[in-house]
A and B are shown apart, each in its own frame.
Chain A
Amino acid sequence: MERFKVIVIGGSAGSFQVVTRILAALPANFNIPVVLCLHRLKHIRSGFEEVLNKKSTLKVIEPEDKTKLQKGYVYLAPANYHLYAEINGTLSLSTEESVSFSRPSIDLTFDTFSYVYKNKMLGIILSGANRDGLNGCILAKARGTTLIAQSLEEAEIQTMPESIIQQQLPTYILKTEDIIKKIIALNKL
């Protein structure tokens, strides 16, 4: 696979376990920044970051506006904001309308990251009960981004990965353990 500059993971209902397994498996010297856009409750502003940090080898942070994207960190989209990439390597936030009732929205994160990183981005879509992510993946695919969908046998709720598989967007359709193998292999490139 390519040398990626960022890995962006989108997920909703049923993705939590998968995300924690991935975070737990990443080596401490993992050298590609990871961005998580996971649907979450608007009013629960704190707690999620802490829970993920317990499982993760890398440090998980909810970025403030204009934080620089750096290797060794996992960036979690904060509650009630969309998370965007800027061309100068920073992150920015937005309060634009929710998409598919979600803020953060996977569509918008995938759109802005793929605009900036194009074929240097690896996007992963996990279990979820709606189709947020589909439009973002369509844009990302057109920009040369490599996409992985969680396999439908394994995904707890199939709607989200299924929507992008139906459009033939993913390059790979994988179970969690294989997603992990793929990601870890990237560290050696």
Chain B
Amino acid sequence: MLLNKDTDLSLTIIKQFQTFLFEKYGYDFRDYALSSFKRRVEHLLFFFKSGSVNDLIRKIDANPSLAEQAVKEITVNTTEMFRDPSFWRKMRDEVLSQFVSSPVIRIWHAACSSGEEVYSMCIILQEMGLLDKARIFASDINSEVLANAKSGVYPIRSLDTTKSNFDRLGTSGKLENYYKVSSDQTTIKYNESLIKNVNFRKHNLVSEEGFSKFDIVLCRNVMIYFNFDLQDRVMDTISNSLFKGGFLAIGSKETIVWCSTAKDFQPLSVEEKIYKKIV
């Protein structure tokens, strides 16, 4: 954390950094919400041991492999299994239950980070006997978190949160059935069979179109890092990726009411932020 007023990053310098990343490497953070982006740039300065943004730019300019790393450090990747258990109950009881007699369920986890959201979904689908007919895409801008997602390996300390969230789901299933603890007791690995129908792919919500149509799209806790204009644009992409009658899930304190596509959606749960696409 920077403790000196004189070293406070100015708007100008932050914009300069965004322009650099875009023009040199095509990563477009220009419409990210400023206050969290500024905090992430401060984190980058610390991470790359740079004294100034100009120094940071010089380093990343000279070494393209640092750009990928910068993207990882700039984005906020925090996530957890079954984040907001009441959301997952609603997803199970009022959304997934509608697909019991459908031949297939197409799901997109947009910005899935290290994959906890995907494993949460797959465990619930398995419990409902729906996993075999699920066709899931899980995407993120960051290839490192995607690799983690594919491996299904997480620190053992994550189990505390996972268990306490899982207990709140109110299910008869046993979490222990879905993972194995490593022999040195430091990590756990979720069963590979859980993700047999999952396709992980690198995808940038800001600069790319959608790539298919889905019954359910989860885009949780990523649009909070975008400014309003960008939220509006990304919501267009997401809306276009949903079938009529499909469902959109966003983070518990996010909203689409200000977006121009809002009129295409009807809330299924105001509390849990699940919407149904009506056109």
Q: Tell me the interface secondary structure of chain B in the complex.
A: loop
Q: Judge whether A59 is part of the interface by a CB distance below 8 angstroms.
A: no
On chain B, the residues within 8 Å of A116 by CB distance are 35
Closest residue of A by beta carbon distance from B87? A45
**A87 to B10 Cα, complex, angstroms:** 12
Binds B, one of A5-13, A20-28, A77-85, A154-162: A77-85
B4 contacts across to A, CB distance below 8 A: 142
Partner of B38, one of A65, A115, A138: A115
Q: How many residues of A contact B (CB 8 A)?
A: 31
Structural contact, A92 and B221, CB atoms closer than 8 A:
no
**Chain A contacts for B254, CB-based, 8 A:** 64-65, 93
Closest Cβ of chain B to A105, distance in Å, is 11
One of A66, A86, A135, A138 near B258 (C-beta < 8 A) = A66
**Knowing A93-B224, A138-B3 touch, does A115 contact B8 (C-beta < 8 A)?**
yes
| A81–B34 touching, CB < 8 Å | no
B11 beta carbon closer than 8 Å to chain A: yes
- Convert B37-57 into 0s and 1s, putting 1 for each residue whose CB lies closer than 8 angstroms to a CB of A: 011000000000000000000
Residues in chain B near residue A92, CB distance under 8 A: 33, 35-36, 224
* B162 sits at the interface (CB 8 A): no
Separation in Å of the A6 CB from the closest CB of chain B? 14
Q: Tell me the complex Cα distance, A154–B38, Å.
A: 37
The answer to whether A94 and B168 touch (CB under 8 A), given A65-B255, A66-B258, A85-B35, is no
Task: List A131-189 residues whose CB lies under 8 Å from chain B.
Answer: 135, 138-139, 142-143
Evaluate whether A94 and B1 lie within 8 angstroms (CB atoms) in the complex, with A64-B255, A66-B231, A143-B8 already known. no
B-facing residues in A60-90 (Cβ within 8 Å): 62-66, 78, 80-81, 84-87, 90
Q: Is the CB of A57 closer than 8 A to any CB of chain B?
A: no
Measured CB to CB, the residues of A under 8 A from B are 43, 45, 62-66, 78, 80-81, 84-87, 90, 92-97, 108, 111-112, 115-116, 135, 138-139, 142-143
12 more contacts with CB within 8 A, not counting A80-B83, A111-B39, A135-B1, are A66-B258, A78-B253, A84-B35, A87-B34, A92-B35, A93-B253, A94-B39, A96-B39, A96-B76, A135-B3, A139-B1, A142-B8
The 10 closest A-B pairs by CB, nearest first: A142-B5, A84-B35, A112-B35, A64-B255, A65-B224, A94-B36, A95-B78, A93-B224, A92-B33, A78-B253
